Chains A and B, each alone.
Chain A
Amino acid sequence: MEVPILRQGQYLIASIQSALTDADLSHLREALIAQVGRSRCRGVIVDVTALDVMDSFAVRTLRDIAHMARLRGAETVIVGIQPDVAFAMVQLGLTLKGVATVLDLEEGLAFLNRRTEERTFETKPKKPSGRG
């Protein structure tokens, strides 16, 4: 089951459509990292709403995606972790430490907009504004 990756402006959006095997997850990681480099995008959204379970492997892969994307200049945000899935994750002792998570796609986009603005200010000195 391949995960479709859409490009929207400066962002890549990967929407998981069903339960994924380890090979599917690894493939998603490779595809996202390759596309981040190729398309010079600034943000990655992984929508996990349809994921049935987040076990050790899924959590590790999502963390890897976020860390690798950051090394290539893009921020990652995970959206749509369902309450039941979150509960089981916590019981398993699994965390997405260091990875941004928000409720849904809309919040994910808002998050990336804020983050990429901040980064732009960090890297470029602020231009003196025209009007006093």
Chain B
Amino acid sequence: MGDELRLPIAADVDVVEARQQGRALAAVAGFSSGEQTVIAAAISEIARNILMYAKKGEIILSLVQNGDRQGVSVVAIDQGPGITDIERAMQYGYSTSHGVGAGLPGAKRLMDDFDLQSTPGQGTTVTMTKWRRAI
């Protein structure tokens, strides 16, 4: 493995690019088209959050392996304002921007592993992985 794709997020076109690259990587890893869409949707929400709340950041995509399972890992990093109340931010419907409040909880539901680290004033890192179902 080791190969990773680093994608800057600073404009709305970058959100589309990131989710399309995520889809392509998932296809390489043998994910079904349904799972590719799931991964792309999660990336879209997380990339959108970078743009919306931090203005800019980065998404790192890579293939990961755990035993004989293969997965797609998505790491989203920004140095934006951070999140004060992570528990609330993870609740469906909670939004500080009159948004739907579905991005974080939705991405968590779409992916298998989901981790959110955030420090107010320093930034936010979302790490999420989708594992391929064993055949």
Confirm or deny: B77 has a beta carbon within 8 angstroms of a beta carbon on chain A. Answer: no
- Where chain A touches its partner, the secondary structure class is helix
Chain A residues with CB under 8 Å of B109's CB are: 91-93
- Does A56 contact B20, Cβ atoms closer than 8 Å? no
Q: Is there an interface contact between A94 and B37, defined as CB atoms closer than 8 Å? A: no
> Number of A residues contacting the other chain (C-beta, 8 Å)?
24
Please, which residues of chain B bring their CB within 8 A of the CB of A19?
16, 19-20
Q: Mark B37-69, 1 if CB is under 8 A from A, else 0.
A: 110110011001000000000000000000000
Residues of A within 8 Å of B12, CB to CB, are: 21-23
Given contact pairs A91-B41, A93-B109, enumerate 9 new A-B contacts (beta carbons under 8 Å). A19-B16, A21-B12, A22-B15, A53-B37, A55-B41, A56-B106, A87-B38, A88-B41, A93-B106
In the assembled complex, which residues on chain A have CB atoms less than 8 Å from the CB atom of B23?
52
Q: Which residues of A contact B92 (CB under 8 A)?
A: 93
User: Which of A's residues lie within 8 Å of B, judged by CB?
Assistant: 19-23, 52-57, 59-60, 82-85, 87-89, 91-94
The answer to whether A91 touches B15, judged by C-beta atoms less than 8 angstroms apart, is: no
Interface residues of B (CB under 8 A from A): 12-13, 15-16, 19-20, 23, 33-34, 36-38, 40-41, 44-45, 48, 92, 99-100, 102-103, 105-107, 109-110
Q: Which residues of B contact A23 (CB under 8 A)?
A: 12
Out of A22, A53, A57, A94, which one reaches B40, CB within 8 Å? A53
Bound complex: CA of A56 vs CA of B15, how far in Å? 13
- Whether A57 contacts B106 by the Cβ 8 Å rule is no
Given A19-B20, A21-B12, A22-B15, the answer on whether A88 and B100 have CB atoms closer than 8 Å is no
Complex Cα–Cα for A83 and B105 (A): 21
- A22 CB to nearest chain B CB (Å): 4
Residues of B within 8 A of A60 (CB): 99-100
The one of B15, B20, B44, B102 in contact with A93, judged by C-beta atoms closer than 8 angstroms, is B102
Alpha-carbon distance between A125 and B120 when the two chains are bound, in angstroms: 63
Q: How far is the CB of A78 from chain B (nearest CB, A)?
A: 17
Q: Who on chain B is nearest to A20 by CB?
A: B16
